[in-house]
Structure 1
Amino acid sequence: MERKHGAYTMIPFTEEEHAKYKKVYSDERQFVRIGPSGYVLPTGWLAHSEDVRTMPLRPDDVFVASYPRSGTTWTQELVWLIANDMNFEKAKSIPLTDRYPFLEEFIFLPSLRWLIGNDLEKLKNIEETMRPAPEVLASTPSPRFIKSHLPMSLLPEGTLDTARVVYVARDPRDVAVSCYHFYKSLKKYAMRATFKEFHELFINDLETWAPFFEHVKEAWHQRNHPNMLFLFYEELSKDLGSAARRVADFLGKQYTDEQYARLLDHLKFDNFQKNTAVNLSEYKKLGIMEEYGNFIRKGKAGGWRDNYDEEMIRRTEQWMADNLRDMDLRFQCNWEFNVEK
């Protein structure tokens, strides 16, 4: 039954929806759908949703927003370096999580408390690490850099009227594969499903931050706003140099060819994958992630083909066609982009 929570409408997951979730994950989270599009968020969102909505903004705030596993981390590093005069030494010495408070990270606290149990020292460390971002950002000096997987409609009110947003989107088939492998590495989720089982949750809008297409469409519809820069992950993969120059233009920065060359080397996938400042190594120390593997995985555009059988391909193509009908938004791995400035 729909009801109000602060400024938002809210519908709790049904028993059937929770049962489908439990087939994939063994954690104890409960979920609600927020707003007209029914964005899926854990009930932990309700604790600070109003703090996020009413968070005071500053004209030099920069948000990097996306649906999860769409190239967020790569884009964050790119944006931060261009905004901060290519300060590679500082970028390597300060974890990306410290440079970019995660706006809604607090939604994970209930499941992490359950995971940690009676380890009071580790619990204290995690609660300090995951303080609500509006609280952290209140004392953060300008310019502030903010990460979020929230759709545009759930970001602080008036975000585009005051701050700048770089939104990155990725082919949902690659997003699904990347999400699956990342969630498997997170102890708090205790995922026990095959990719095919996970994929059912994904295309049926039962994953956190879903529905995927509504999320991307909200940003796409605002792509021509002067404070919005809409990027495709595939665009970054194809020609990172051109994408970097678009970001620099957006942020009012100019650099030499030599500086861009160093930037591209820093962001080259092999180097980026080994960069401990962006690989959530602190999550492993806190016991949130498994010790094996990296947060930065393969970074391959079009790699979904290695994970989908024929039935999944057909169903996913139909799902994409249904959601993109009457729109000029397209996810293409053949590098033909319809990007409007």
Structure 2
Amino acid sequence: MSALAVMREDVPGPRPCAPDLHRGRTLSYERLETDVAQKLDLMFGRANSLVMVHPGRVLMPPEYQDIGERISQLQVRPDDVWLVSYPRTGSTWAQEMVWLIGHDLDFQGAKQLQQIRTPLLELSAIMAQEKGAWKEELDNSVGMVEAMPSPRYIKSHLPLELLPLQLDSVQPKVVYVARNPKDMCVSYYHYCRLVHNLQGSFEDFCELFLRDRVPVAPVWNHILGFWKRRNSPNILFLKYEDMKRDQEGAIRQTAAFLGKTLSEDQVKVLAEHLSFDSMKRNPAVNLEPIIAKKNGPEFLATTELRFIRKGQVGDWRNHMGDELATRFDWWTQDHLRDTGLSFD
């Protein structure tokens, strides 16, 4: 481990965090509070499942220590296009839109697995504990990004504090996607069950989510870090709910941001490709070929879990009672007060 990556033994109390993109960032790693660590380890079925990364107090798998500094020092290119979001905000959907607009609707090229053509930068750490030969084509995600020819299309769920330092100076195009946190939490829970074999109730997961003690938390620091930069010419801030309400409008907005012109017929063709039914059937984006290799070809026939699950606004109503929903509402209001940001 680098001298810049230090595991801290102490566990200080909560403190505010703010974007820290200055040159010379020091990464450090801290063990979680014992009660939280035990809950997470039980739910994820492994010891030391998550650590806290500074700056940002971001919860990540401990294997992030192997790539964290390399990500911080990644060479950013002016013609990069980044898609950044907290997990389960419709980022796969948005990235398919961004990649196809940037590649002049190359639907043939889009048949390649999305993780290959637009890799998730930190995937190596996220999947480090998974076993099997299926990992080989997805391993070394940072190296994959480094080796890509320009223009690169890159995806990340990391917050500003952990993204490459050069994003500030080079200022490539960045599309950020946000979503109502209640729907985001529901989707995240089912994703963790499917991909990471999470055990435990939805209510237990919500408790940790509200405490910012789930992977890639804290939530609001992540979202507001980009919301505060939404007026920067190199940043496009999209909301999942707006994309659902007006997919064609989101396509036009994104095309304009990327400097591309689409005809009305092209907008409609792309909107059809991006429809929920189309995305759910598309093996390049629905992860089903990977999940079948990971869990066995019979797995998907025995579970209702899917990577592309419902694609709905307001599905939280099918999972949360009034008391829990109210807690989420107060939590959201507390963090969004005076920011100008709101969610349906």
**TM score, norm. by length of structure 2:** 0.87
What amino acid sits opposite 1:328 in the alignment? G
State the match for 1:314 in structure 2.
326
CA positional deviation for 1:134: 2.6
Alpha-carbon contact 1:53-1:157 (below 8 Å) kept: yes
CA positional deviation for 1:22: 3.3
Q: 1:55 to 1:36 in 2, by over 3 A?
A: closer
State the match for 1:46 in structure 2.
65
State the match for 2:7 in structure 1.
none
State the match for 1:272 in structure 2.
279
CA positional deviation for 1:71: 0.5
State the match for 2:250 in structure 1.
243
SS at match of 2:198: coil
Distance 1:180 1:41 in 2: 16
SS at match of 1:179: helix
In the alignment, which of 304, 318, 321 is matched to residue 316 of structure 2?
Answer: 304
Alpha-carbon contact 2:89-2:177 (below 8 Å) kept: yes
What does 1:255-294 correspond to in 2, within 5 Å?
Answer: 255-287=262-294, 290-291=299-300, 292=303, 293-294=305-306
- For structure 1, the residue ranges without an aligned partner over 5 or more in a row are 117-121, 333-341
Distance 1:137 1:297 in 2: 28
| Greater relative contact order, per chain length (Cα 8 Å cut-off, separation 6+) | 1
SS at match of 1:10: strand
Q: Does 1:101 align with 2:109?
A: no
What amino acid sits opposite 1:310 in the alignment? D
Q: 1:34 to 1:328 in 2, by over 3 A?
A: same
Distance 2:138 2:270 in 1: 30
Distance 1:36 1:138 in 2: 23
CA positional deviation for 1:79: 0.3
State the match for 1:72 in structure 2.
91
SS at match of 1:326: coil
In the alignment, which of 53, 66, 73 is matched to residue 34 of structure 1?
Answer: 53
What amino acid sits opposite 2:70 in the alignment? D
State the match for 1:171 in structure 2.
180
CA positional deviation for 1:253: 0.3
Distance 2:253 2:285 in 1: 22
Q: Does 1:234 align with 2:253?
A: no
Distance 2:72 2:295 in 1: 28
Distance 2:271 2:220 in 1: 30
Alpha-carbon contact 2:75-2:166 (below 8 Å) kept: no
Distance 2:277 2:127 in 1: 32
1:57-114 Cα deviation digits (max 9, x unpaired): 11111111100000000000000111000111221x21111111110011134421xx
In the alignment, which of 153, 158, 170 is matched to residue 161 of structure 2?
Answer: 153
- For structure 2, the residue ranges without an aligned partner over 5 or more in a row are 1-9, 13-23
1:95-142 Cα deviation digits (max 9, x unpaired): 111111110011134421xxx3xxxxx34x41x333332311222111
State the match for 2:5 in structure 1.
none
In the alignment, which of 56, 59, 68 is matched to residue 75 of structure 2?
Answer: 56
Alpha-carbon contact 2:122-2:142 (below 8 Å) kept: no
What is the identity percentage for the equivalent residue pairs of Structure 1 and Structure 2? Answer: 35
Runs of 4+ in 1 over 6 A off after TM superposition: none
1:266-302 Cα deviation digits (max 9, x unpaired): 1111111111111112322431585244311100011
In the alignment, which of 12, 16, 27 is matched to residue 31 of structure 2?
Answer: 12
CA positional deviation for 1:2: 6.6
What amino acid sits opposite 2:186 in the alignment? V
Q: 1:54 to 1:2 in 2, by over 3 A?
A: farther
Q: 1:192 to 1:109 in 2, by over 3 A?
A: closer
Distance 2:307 2:49 in 1: 25
Alpha-carbon contact 2:115-2:138 (below 8 Å) kept: no
Bigger mean CA offset, 59-68 vs 21-30? 21-30
Alpha-carbon contact 1:160-1:228 (below 8 Å) kept: no
Alpha-carbon contact 2:27-2:69 (below 8 Å) kept: no
Q: 1:109 to 1:276 in 2, by over 3 A?
A: closer
In the alignment, which of 125, 129, 139 is matched to residue 137 of structure 2?
Answer: 129
State the match for 1:190 in structure 2.
197
**Count of residues in Structure 1 that have an aligned counterpart in Structure 2:** 318
CA positional deviation for 1:168: 0.2
